Amino acid sequence: MKKLFAAFSFSVLLFSCGGNKEELIVKTEKISGAELKSTFKVWGNCETCKDAIENSLRVEGITTANWNVETKLISVSYDTTKINLDKIEQKIAAVGYDNVKYKGDDVAYENLPQCCKYDRK
């Protein structure tokens, strides 16, 4: 029982520290069969960011990717037999955009257009 309480306390602490709780939320829902839809935060500023973020996910296994400029949330539908959420988050980070789990690649971030340079976390 003590171990369970300690694990629960640690998870509450983990998700309570470091700013806005909404930034840490990843929502995933089953669409059908092996297809899931995940929604999570990706930092960026503009339509140029939107194009770069969504284009980074034009790979096998991803059926849709839509990043909202105002909310900074991306919704991605994907086939879990071909790609997983971790790889999706890594692909976004590789083109310079921070997300819930990964910091964007520093070199890629520096090469972004000026309008795309957001305040990094």
With the CA atoms of 101, 84, 59 and 79 taken in that order, what torsion angle do they form, in degrees rounded to the nearest 10?
-140
- Residue 74 in any domain: the answer is yes
- Residue 2 in any domain: the answer is no
**Number of structural domains the chain divides into:** 1
- pTM comes to 0.79
- Residue 14 in any domain: the answer is no
Query: What pLDDT is recorded for position 121?
Result: 74
Task: State both tokens at 93.
Answer: 């980070």
Q: Of all helices (H) and strands (E), which one includes residue 41?
A: strand 35-41
Residues 55, 110: Cα–Cα separation, whole Å = 18
Q: CATH code at 101? A: 3.30.70.100
pLDDT in tens, the chain (121 residues): 444 333 333 333 333 334 454 555 789 999 999 999 999 999 999 999 999 999 999 999 999 999 999 999 999 999 999 999 999 999 999 999 999 999 999 999 999 999 999 998 7
* Residue 118: closest CA among 49, 17, 47, 52: 49
Query: What pLDDT is recorded for position 12?
Result: 34
Note down the domain range covering 48: 20-116
Answer yes or no: are the C-beta atoms of 87 and 57 closer than 8 Å. no
- Residue 11 in any domain: the answer is no
CA 67 from centre of chain:
10
- Residue 37 in any domain: the answer is yes
- Residue 59 in any domain: the answer is yes
Query: What pLDDT is recorded for position 76?
Result: 98
- Residue 104 in any domain: the answer is yes
